[in-house]
Amino acid sequence: MKTIEQWIDGAPYHGEPVRRVPVENPTTGRIEAELLEASVADVDHAVRVARRAQLSWGKVSLAKRMDIMFRMRQLVLDHQDELATAIVNEHGKTFSDAIGEIQRGRETLDFACNIAAALKGEISYDVSTGVDVHTLRQPVGVVAGIGPFNFPVMVPMWMHPIAIATGNSFVLKPPSPAPTASMIIARLYREAGLPDGVFNVVSGDRHVVTALLEHPGIDAVSFVGSTPVARIVQETATRHGKRVQALGGANNHAIVMPDADLDHAAQHIAAAAFGAAGERCMALPAVIAVGGIADELARRVAEHAGAYVVGSGFEEVTDLGPVISARAKQRITGLIDDAEQRGATVVLDGRAPTVEGFEDGHFLAPTVITGVPLDAPVYTEEIFGPVLTIGAAATYEEAIALVNAQPFGNGAAIFTRDGGTARRFKLDVQAGMVGINVPIPTPVAYYSFGGWKDSLLGDTHIHGPEGVRFCTRAKAITERWPGATVHAATMSFEREA
Ligand code: NAD
């Protein structure tokens, strides 16, 4: 069986593992690898190595750093099938979705290839006679990244290219259910010419996260995961004097107005709700249909989703793979059962699909529910599975009040043909990422990604310009050069006179 170690100082590192954790393939239900969980001593070693490496990496020229990013970008392209295979084996999403995840992650590498543009400072001269001021941004030092299971490549790639290109070292704590991709990325960074110790991987449970959050050698913590853990991470890391961005969970809503193109809406809502088995922080688990169209919309969404093929992510016909574990499947099924007991109507029931040849996989097919009471956990909690609730509202005002009443604020969308309604929505809605006839409004990597309210704890969004600010500290320099205050232009004028 494959053993997955740590990666420290440019090579696999065995260290003193505290536990061996099984890594399951959710499609087959088989254990295919063992993950060695790092000890606190291993984490300490990784952080010390990263700190030492940063001292010289932070002084490497921008040209050289960008050159390494260019090479890394090409290597990720060259190895995307290897990365996608690791994602499908450990997460279960379809191969094409895994390739899509890698491409979205690579956008941040693209951005990092031109990090010089994002690091340009400002200058004002003669702010006082002979006194100039300019600003520059320098690396914070060592950035720790902690990622969720649902995007084993993309989410860490929102973090490390920017951290590294801006001159920091990086220590990654990958998700335990899907750790292999991080080791491939570590190997590719070495092939790209990144100096040893600048990118490190330490795996494990909360003890590893806590060790990173409390370590005096870590300067900044970038976290993406569920909100309860985001809260722990933010509180612990700030208590230990670190800057933190902690992206949490979501319960994204879309409003469908009666003037919307219902076919377009139904098709895109189905893809947004059930793609990747609903295991996306930008998935769409809740729709509010305005003006008596809820049943018709539910019928059309169910028609699309009922045709989705559930199965192995390696088969081309598959639309959605399994959820991550037997426990997740049980939790999601329980939420649907509970809604039904509360009087909701299960329009499309995906609780018990049969997937031939994969009887031990953790499969769920798309489920569409209407008439869900507003206090039912299937509506109030983050489902993180292929389940969509379609609720009804009489007016836009009623619908936006429902959207804004829930504690999360990651993504939100509206389907309408009316520009005025769309404009109102984008200003009214309490969410960080907004879609107009776009149900998954994930920004491209040269913008920043992040939610509001319980979907993001901390001040800055991730990647793009806010990512650069997070990974760097500003410095303002005021300088005077006594004896050199006469302008050359003045001198030549005086000579001519
Ligand atoms: P999770 O919060 O359980 O785990 C995230 C990371 O934290 C993992 O590396 C895990 O090992 C670690 N961790 C877990 N419990 C911990 C604890 N008590 N103390 C310290 N560390 C701990 O999340 P998950 O189940 O891996 O991922 C799914 C969640 O991530 C969903 O809530 C989803 O919405 C969220 N997510 C959010 C975004 C976003 O951009 N906002 C993106 C992807 C996923």
For the segment 302-337, what is each residue's pLDDT rounded down to a tens digit? 999 999 999 999 999 999 999 999 999 999 999 999
Instruction: Count CB neighbours of 207 within 10 A.
Output: 15
Mean pLDDT of 267-283: 98
**Ligand 1 atom closest to the CA of 324, numbered from 1:** 25
User: Cα(363)–Cα(310) distance, rounded to whole angstroms?
Assistant: 7
pLDDT score, position 29 = 98
pLDDT score, position 1 = 87
* Confidence band for 491, pLDDT divided at 50, 70 and 90: low
For ligand 1, atom 30: residue with the closest CA = 225
* Confidence band for 115, pLDDT divided at 50, 70 and 90: very high
Q: Please give the mean pLDDT across all residues of the chain.
A: 96
Beta strands in 47-99 (DSSP E): none
Q: Is the CB of 229 under 6 A from ligand 1?
A: yes
* Confidence band for 484, pLDDT divided at 50, 70 and 90: confident
Q: What is the pTM of this model?
A: 0.96
Residue 495 reports pLDDT greater than 60 = no
pLDDT (tens digit per residue) in 45-102: 999 999 999 999 999 999 999 999 999 999 999 999 999 999 999 999 999 999 999 9
**Ligand 1 atom closest to the CA of 233, numbered from 1:** 20
* Confidence band for 297, pLDDT divided at 50, 70 and 90: very high
Q: Is the CB of 411 under 6 A from ligand 1?
A: no
Cβ neighbours of residue 61 closer than 8 Å, sequence gap 6 or more: none
* Confidence band for 339, pLDDT divided at 50, 70 and 90: very high
The domain covering 253-436 belongs, at the CATH homologous superfamily level, to Aldehyde Dehydrogenase; Chain A, domain 2 (3.40.309.10)
Residue with tokens 């020229």: 61
pLDDT score, position 494 = 59
**Ligand 1 atom closest to the CA of 230, numbered from 1:** 2
Cα–ligand 1 centroid distance for 147 (angstroms) = 6
What CATH number does domain 2-248+455-477 carry, 3.30.420.40, 3.40.605.10, 3.10.180.10, 3.40.50.150? Answer: 3.40.605.10
Mean pLDDT of 368-375: 98
Instruction: Count CB neighbours of 206 within 10 A.
Output: 11
Phi-psi region of 384 (alpha: psi -120 to 50; beta: other; left: phi over 0): left
User: Cα(279)–Cα(178) distance, rounded to whole angstroms?
Assistant: 14
Active-site annotation holder among 155, 262, 281, 399? 281
Residue 433 reports pLDDT greater than 90 = yes
Look up residue 332 and give its amino acid. Answer: I
10 Å CB burial of residue 485 (0-12, 13-18, 19+) is exposed
Look up residue 420 and give its amino acid. Answer: G
Cα–ligand 1 centroid distance for 248 (angstroms) = 7
Q: Is the CB of 204 under 6 A from ligand 1?
A: no
Q: Give the strand pairing for 253-256 and 472-480.
A: unpaired
* Confidence band for 487, pLDDT divided at 50, 70 and 90: low
The H-or-E segment that residue 401 falls in is helix 396-405
Residue 493 reports pLDDT greater than 90 = no
pLDDT score, position 279 = 98
pLDDT (tens digit per residue) in 354-364: 999 999 999 99
**Ligand 1 atom closest to the CA of 462, numbered from 1:** 40
Test site for ligand 1: of 19, 93, 104, 150, most ligand atoms within 8 A of the Cβ: 150
10 Å CB burial of residue 461 (0-12, 13-18, 19+) is buried
Q: Which of 361, 390, 393 is nearest to 296 (CA)?
A: 390
SS3 for 479?
strand
Ordered DSSP codes for 199-265: EEE---SHHHHHHHHH-TT--EEEEES-HHHHHHHHHHHHHTT-EEEEE-----EEEE-TTS-HHHH
Q: Is the CB of 282 under 6 A from ligand 1?
A: no
Token duo for residue 486:
């006469």
User: Cα(226)–Cα(229) distance, rounded to whole angstroms?
Assistant: 6
- Indicate the domain borders of the chain: 2-248+455-477, 253-436
For ligand 1, atom 42: residue with the closest CA = 281
pLDDT (tens digit per residue) in 400-419: 999 999 999 999 999 999 99
pLDDT (tens digit per residue) in 194-224: 999 999 999 999 999 999 999 999 999 999 9
User: Cα(65)–Cα(116) distance, rounded to whole angstroms?
Assistant: 9
Residue 488 reports pLDDT greater than 90 = no
pLDDT (tens digit per residue) in 136-180: 999 999 999 999 999 999 999 999 999 999 999 999 999 999 999
pLDDT score, position 67 = 98
Cα–ligand 1 centroid distance for 24 (angstroms) = 18
Q: Is the CB of 383 under 6 A from ligand 1?
A: no
Token duo for residue 346:
């299960």
First to last CA, the chain: 87
Q: Is the CB of 209 under 6 A from ligand 1?
A: yes
Distances (CA, A) of 401 to 271, 294, 372, 395, 405: 25, 17, 17, 10, 6
Q: Is the CB of 224 under 6 A from ligand 1?
A: yes
Q: Is the CB of 148 under 6 A from ligand 1?
A: yes
Distances (CA, A) of 467 to 23, 57, 145, 168, 460: 31, 19, 12, 13, 7
Residue 496 reports pLDDT greater than 60 = no
pLDDT score, position 489 = 56
Mean pLDDT of 262-291: 98
Distances (CA, A) of 4 to 31, 251, 378: 13, 33, 36
Q: Which of 16, 275, 243 is nearest to 139 (CA)?
A: 243
Test site for ligand 1: of 209, 222, 235, 279, most ligand atoms within 8 A of the Cβ: 209
Choose between 494 and 122: higher pLDDT: 122
Cα–ligand 1 centroid distance for 148 (angstroms) = 4
Residue with tokens 């490390």: 160
471 is annotated as an active-site residue = no
For ligand 1, atom 38: residue with the closest CA = 281
Residue 255, strand partner residues: 288, 414
pLDDT (tens digit per residue) in 5-35: 999 999 999 999 999 999 999 999 999 999 9
Share of the chain above pLDDT 70, in %: 97
Residue 480 reports pLDDT greater than 80 = yes
Q: Is the CB of 455 under 6 A from ligand 1?
A: yes
**Ligand 1 atom closest to the CA of 173, numbered from 1:** 9
